[in-house]
Structure 1
Amino acid sequence: MELDRYRKILVGTDGSSLAGPTVTRAARLAVADDADLIVVCAYTKMLAREAAREPNLEGSVATLGQVPGSEAATQAIRDAMKVAHEAGARVTAALLVDADPVAAILETARDHRVDAIVLGAIRDTSVVGRLLGNVSSAVVRRAHRDVLVVRPVEGSEEPNVAEDVEIAPTSED
């Protein structure tokens, strides 16, 4: 039995240290299947008062996998596009989505009728990760299409969630 080829593949990026290998894997899969590649980055906008309070950080309250601020998200998309093009992939959309990462990925996958989703995942041993889960596990549970989860290469240093994503406190000072 021959498997159907993918026609559209979505890859999520957050600019973390695992983003490059994840986009590379998605791009190679797209090239092998002659599929379109859609790149999506979930981010959160920054309120004006937060910008005044934190001039060196364009982020506000971000969840894991969500990029704080449009400038950082734009850079994450640029980096992903460069990796995808170097791998020879045909990128048909690069989207910045102001939303929770799981919602951004699932809604974009639905709206663009993708056949497969490619995401990076690290072992999150934080209390937040254990209680709430992470983006890739939530997408796997809720997606109505194939999901490929890319892990760091065995033996390599695994990215640290706390180092890759800035999470600001949610309460007012």
Structure 2
Amino acid sequence: MAVSNLEMHALFVLGDLRAKLVKQFQSRFVYITEQTAEGIYMAEIDTESALVVDDKPGLELKVGDHFRAAVLPSREGGKFEIRFRDIKLTLYGLGEYAFVSTAEGEGILFKESGRVMLVFAAHEQLQVGLAKILKAATGKAAKWRKGELTFKASE
């Protein structure tokens, strides 16, 4: 039988990351991208029409029916699970995320294997150049060369 636990270190690191993600959803327009060497998927969330639920005691964030982020126990001491529609990422701690900032807003970039997910809080709705702006934000911490991902983590 697998034993799962949530260590204090994981609780603080991953709990802090969840709190920073909650701040992203205080912006009216949040953009989520999943990017690999093959391509990019982008979506816009209007937080006025999508219900944002911050469950602090449960260490979970839910936005509408499509986005969920939670700190969960694991064999490794704790994990941070992010789900957006059919996309699921699992992070185990430091070195797997980066904070990025551009003139248009701020974002958190999450890395798992050869792909990244960007949660980008824009200062205002991005009407023109959406792909260019989001790729530029991703490019501050993640680059693909010959199909290999190079990632510069914040912590």
TM-score class normalised by the smaller sequence: under 0.3
Q: TM-score, normalised by structure 1?
A: 0.25
Larger radius of gyration: 1
Higher strand fraction: Structure 1 or Structure 2? 2
Greater relative CO (CA pairs within 8 A, separation 6+)? 1
